[in-house]
Amino acid sequence: MTFRAFICIAVNYDAKARGVKEKTLYTVLSFFFPLIVGIVYLCTRKNCKKIQPKICNNCHTTVDTNSTFCPNCLGTDFTDYLIRDNEKYHKNAKIFLIVGIAVYVVTCVVNVFFNVYFDKNAEPFINDIERYSNYLDNYDDKDDYDNHDYSDHFDADGYFDDFGFSKDGEEETQPDNVLPNSLQ
């Protein structure tokens, strides 16, 4: 959020220094989309529509270019808008841009630091990775049955003993005293 604010202020100061007519549009859009609008502004700022007002030297009021006198003090001595405070706005724009980029870099570094060292949610994930690597180290994968039909290599002796079949495959006979005494 701070990065956005600094980029927004830098775009505003640069637009003031260059006399860009739509400086409010660029300023607001640079807050919501700082990188995209910042790049677009850098590419188009020299070709944007410029404002050409005059500034009264007596009362420092901005006057329309068609006026021959100041409506505030009735003065007739004017200075062009782009000459006055131009260097100050350029300097402020550069300072805010550099501070904004520095804040962004520091925020990214702090974010990575906290995600790596203080993320408690990553601990189960790291433990799962360790268990999986231990499983791979201890797993003997020397059988040749991969990508084959397992029925050719299956030994069925004794497999169905718990399901009522004898070891030779014949059905087992049940003993006579299976029922409880109360039901016999």
At 46 the pLDDT is 77
First to last CA, the chain: 84
At residue 117, the pLDDT reads 74
Average pLDDT along the chain: 72
> Judging by DSSP bridges, how do beta strands 78-80 and 62-63 pair with one another?
unpaired
Give pLDDT tens digits for 136-169.
565 555 555 555 555 555 555 554 455 555 555 5
- CA distances, 56 to each of 46, 78, 86 (Å): 26, 5, 16
Higher pLDDT, 46 or 125: 46
Average of per-residue pLDDT across 101-120: 84
Higher-confidence position of 31 and 146: 31
Task: Evaluate if pTM is beyond 0.75.
Answer: no
Query: Average pLDDT for residues 161-182, to the nearest whole number?
Result: 53
CA 148 to chain centre: 46
Backbone φ/ψ region at 126: left (φ over 0), alpha (ψ -120 to 50), beta:
alpha
Overall size of the chain counted in residues: 184
Can you list the alpha helix ranges (DSSP code H) found in the chain? Answer: 2-18, 23-32, 34-44, 86-117, 122-138
What is the band of 84 on the pLDDT scale with cuts at 50, 70, 90?
low
Pairwise CA distance, residues 104 & 7, whole Å: 10
Q: Which residues on neighbouring strands pair with residue 165, listed in sequence order? A: 171
CA 7 from chain center: how many Å?
A: 17
Q: For the chain, count helices (H), then strands (E).
A: 5, 3
In this prediction, residue 113 carries a pLDDT of 82
Q: What span, in angstroms and rounded, lies between the C-alpha atoms of 164 and 161? A: 6
Nearest to 160 by CA among 174, 152, 171: 171
pLDDT in tens, 112-141: 888 777 766 666 666 666 666 665 565 555
pLDDT band at 54; cut points 50, 70, 90 = confident
CA distance 155 to 166: 15
Q: Is 106 a residue whose pLDDT tops 90?
A: yes
pLDDT of residue 99: 92
